[in-house]
Amino acid sequence: MDSQGVWVRLKTHRWVYSFSIVATLAVGILIGTVISFGVKGKEGQKSSDATPLTVPAPRQLSNEFSRIAKELGPSVVNINTESTIKNMHRHHGENNDNGDEDNDGGGGGMDDFFNHFFGGPGGGQMSPFGPDNGPIRERSLGSGVIVDSKGYIITNRHVVEKADRIRVRLQDDPPGVQHDAKVIGEDQETDLAVIRIDLDRSLPAAKMGNSDGMEVGDWVLAIGSPFGQVGTVTAGIVSAKGRDIVPGRQFQSFIQTDAAINPGNSGGPLVNMNGEVIGINTAILSETNAYAGVGFSLPSNTVVQVYNQLIGPEHRVSRGSIGIMFDSVENPAIARVYGAGTGVTVSSVVPGSPADQAGLKVGDTITSIDGQRVSKGSELVGDIASRKPGSKVDVGFMRNGKQEHTTVTIDDRAKLFASRLGEEDNGGEGSTPKQGKFGITVRKLTPEMADRLNMPVSKGVIVQDVKPGSFGEDVNLNRGDVILEVNKQPVNSEQDLAKVEAGLKSGQDVVFLVRPRGSTQQDGTIFMAGTLP
């Protein structure tokens, strides 16, 4: 087509367009005339007395929430962590009788259970970092709150656990600016950690409140970075106090709230209407790994006690213990059978522990500590844990219907329950906790756990954690596996495993009888074996 043809067409289109405008204007004038005639036709109606509407000046009506958010916001930080971990071996990928790969589908409820109640990566995103069986890079997000203007920050242990690099973003930081942080101390029992950033200026610090003063129904705010959304504020009330969300988990009695808490909120503050931190948001109860109206915060009174020890010379929490175990769920039948009425009935005594040396036995019911009546396990643990190792206490107990007394020397809880807590004291300042020869942390599998995790049995111990590079990892043990036997010896408690572990030496063969995580009765058990290095 030549240029003249193109010009003619454009000219023709322009003429049509001009005609359309003229026609449209004509129709518009006609319609406008009709409309104006219609309005003008309503005689007798006047609008000169109508008052024009105005927009009022900006005014805060419910200003308590916004005031607290502005006041506390600058002290709440976003925490980013990076860690390199080995790609987990998939011993569950064995073939079953049908020739299909036995796939657990990624964990689902099991992962939620461990991540929320035992502490886990919590919302981390993994990206390949090498071949399928090579190391992978894990990134996770969390929150924290500045409690000292020198840069000391409280957060959850599971937010910074095993991280190669920890970076903190302040609320007023420009995009992309983050500050490297170092871990000052961690406490596995309460899932708390203290980290620090070193800046050349004073930082805004939050005020700590008294969690004992909170009542059910009191308003609270949760501040943090859910899903990485920095500076998010949600409101709710205290739904309950004294929640023990994992049976037998000591030192974790939570404040329950319906303020929205999601992945990424971990480590952020729960705040009262005085603008004081009365809790550290730690866990949620949800089947979807997202907000379902039930969140848990560790009370500030517990947080302060742990913080003050973590910033001390040893950078660790020292708790007293006498080396006994008891049923975490109160059951009147136990007291009736053992004829003690009220008290704490001993179900296990750690060999060589202070309780063992003082003559306490399984079946004894502890009724008093230094003359103070004890009726619940939480009272006993709270009293003993608050005492310094080396101090002595008078323990009153019932045995065969007779009241007796013995003197017990308090020991360090971390030493007595090293295999259960996954830590030993090696005397170094700020030393890294060590696990036993197997490099695993376990807990007794209770009927409640077995039911929640759809396990066919309630015998054995459930693997809580596996240390990277450990013997446990070498034989392919994973979190959630249930160990039933070790070298033909039944293992039904942390103490059972510790005894077997203590009797093994380097070079010995070790065979675990295991029911893998997520398995059913039909799936059966498998062996995992290796030679102890």
What DSSP string describes 239-271? EEEEE--STT-TT--EEEE-S---TT-TTPEEE
Amino acid identity for residue 409 in this structure: T
* Backbone φ, ψ for residue 169 (5° rounding): -115, 125
Task: Output Rg (C-alpha) for the chain, integer angstroms.
Answer: 32
Q: Which tokens in the block code for residue 342?
A: 């009220």
Is 266 an annotated catalytic residue?
Answer: yes
Residues 349 and 326: their CA atoms lie apart, in Å, by 9
Is 116 an annotated catalytic residue?
Answer: no
Residues 449 and 117: their CA atoms lie apart, in Å, by 11
* Catalytic choice (75, 111, 116, 191): 191
Q: Which tokens in the block code for residue 20?
A: 């359309």
Q: Which residue has the tokens 């939620």?
A: 112
Q: 364, 422, 410: which is closest to 157 by C-alpha?
A: 422
Residues 299 and 274: their CA atoms lie apart, in Å, by 16
Task: Kindly state the helix (H) or strand (E) to which residue 527 belongs, with its residue range.
Answer: strand 526-531
Q: DSSP code of 226?
A: G
Residues 52 and 422: their CA atoms lie apart, in Å, by 73
* Catalytic choice (158, 258, 300, 411): 158
* Backbone φ, ψ for residue 140 (5° rounding): -140, 160
User: Widest CA span of the chain, in angstroms?
Assistant: 119
Would strands 344-349 and 461-466 be described as parallel, antiparallel, or unpaired?
unpaired
Q: What angle do CA 243, 247, 251 make, to 5 degrees?
A: 60
End-to-end CA distance of the chain: 86
User: Is 79 within 8 Å of 167 (Cβ atoms)?
Assistant: yes
Residues 90 and 106: their CA atoms lie apart, in Å, by 11
Would strands 269-271 and 219-224 be described as parallel, antiparallel, or unpaired?
antiparallel
Q: Which tokens in the block code for residue 124?
A: 């981390």
Burial class (CB in 10 A: 0-12, 13-18, 19+), 401: exposed
* Catalytic choice (140, 266, 368, 419): 266
Q: 174, 175, 171, 168: which is closest to 153 by C-alpha?
A: 168
Residues 97 and 407: their CA atoms lie apart, in Å, by 59
Q: Which residues are catalytic?
A: 158, 191, 266
